Amino acid sequence: MRHFGGAVGLTALTTMADARIVAVVAPDVAGGAELPERLAELGFLVGERVRVLARAPFGDPLAVRVGSGTFALRRLEADCIRVMPLASSPR
């Protein structure tokens, strides 16, 4: 697994905390190479602000806001998104 200077996977982000996307990586599973491109098409781009809005029981899926869109992501997809938590979240 690659490291991005203190960045964590999106699944590690606390609910309702803001973060900035620092990387979108392919998962270590067969057929996962196209996942970063699909996530980019949804707006999960480096530099974008992101927030986990809610988690389903057992943590899968997650409701995630990026830009003005809200998406349900499986853990596998959310783990591909590396984020840097922001110090404060405006309410």
Domains and CATH numbers, the chain: 8-85 (2.30.30.90)
The overall average pLDDT reported for the chain is 88
**Distance (Å, rounded) from C-alpha 66 to C-alpha 20?**
10
Please compute the mean of the pLDDT values over residues 5-18 and round it to a whole number.
Answer: 89
Q: How confident is the model at residue 66 (pLDDT cuts 50, 70, 90)?
A: very high
- Tokens 């979108």, located at residue: 24
- Residue 3 pLDDT greater than 70, yes or no: no
- Tokens 């003005």, located at residue: 68
Task: Note the pLDDT of residue 4.
Answer: 65
Task: Note the pLDDT of residue 1.
Answer: 47
Nearest to 54 by CA among 81, 7, 17, 87: 17
41: left (phi over 0), alpha (psi -120 to 50) or beta: alpha
Kindly state the greatest CA–CA separation across the chain.
Answer: 40
Q: How confident is the model at residue 29 (pLDDT cuts 50, 70, 90)?
A: confident
